[in-house]
Amino acid sequence: MKKVQGITAIIGMFLLIIAILITSFQVAIYGDPEYKFYEKEYEKYQVTESLQMEMEDVMDVTEKMMDYLIGKRPELSVETTVNGEKQDFFNEQDRLHMADVKNLFLGGLALRWWLLGIFALLMLVLIFPLKADWKRVLPRAYFISLGIFLVLTVFLGVLFASDFTKYFTIFHEIFFTNDLWLFDPSTDLMIRMLPEGFFYDMVMRIGLYFLGGLAIFAAAFALIGRCGRKKK
């Protein structure tokens, strides 16, 4: 019975950790409604010079693009001024690729709620039919799952740090069934607005939020475990 309790708890905690990771993506990408992080990145990589646009116009494009990705705009089309001329910032390739990105992002957010639902169900099964000592079982399961996940995360982190371009390419090949993500900076404005360095910095930002979330849950489960031991 204890083995079943342990496996059930570990599976539940692993699902919780994945849900925290997905939430970290959402917070890192949308946590700042004024998109100050994006503005700083544009300044860092001299995006306005590359695009020959004013920062105000670049931020307007950014806000509308982010609204599209979260489902607040029906289509990706933004009239703006580039090099003194009015034009649509996005071309057809941009729209097709970003439609894939939108589906992936919204699918991830939907998956997060499924994971949390299954996690809650497993916790109910663990506490009631299996009658587990949850103050002892849950903290142990969390730290085991955390250890497994962090080993995988460190492995992936080392890979990306060793050659970000290579593994960034592999990531796209896994999650996209076409080559629409391959852009030409000489003709595609979007890739000039979002250079590779921007994505590297965003990955680091997501990682910090993720570690922060894990730390909060680690502290909470450590406290629960301590209370459980004192009660005994």
Query: Which tens digit of pLDDT belongs to each residue from 17-59?
Result: 999 999 999 999 999 989 999 999 999 999 999 999 999 999 9
pTM of structure: 0.91
Residue 154: pLDDT above 90?
A: no
Among 58-67, 176-185, 212-221, which is the least confidently predicted range? 176-185
**Per-residue model confidence (pLDDT) at position 147:** 94
Please compute the mean of the pLDDT values over residues 144-158 and round it to a whole number.
90
Can you name the residues that pair with 85 across neighbouring β-strands?
82
Q: Given this model, what pLDDT does residue 205 score?
A: 95
Per-residue H/E/C for 16-76: HHHHHHHHHHHHHHHCCCCCHHHHHHHHHCCHHHHHCCCHHHHHHHHHHHHHHHCCCCCCC
Please give the share of the chain, as a percent, with pLDDT higher than 90. 75
State in Å, rounded, how far the first CA of the chain is from the last one. Answer: 20
Tell me, what's the pLDDT at 218?
96
Reported confidence tier of residue 232, pLDDT bands at 50, 70, 90: low
Q: Which residues contact 10 (CB under 8 A, 6 or more apart)?
A: 141, 144, 145
Name the 3-class secondary structure at 37: helix
Closest to 98 (Cα-Cα) out of 76, 67, 72: 76
CA 29 to centroid of chain Cα atoms: 7
Residue range 143-162: mean pLDDT, rounded: 89
Give the mean pLDDT of 178-189.
90
Q: Is the pLDDT of residue 153 over 90?
A: no
Q: Does position 101 have pLDDT exceeding 70, yes or no?
A: yes
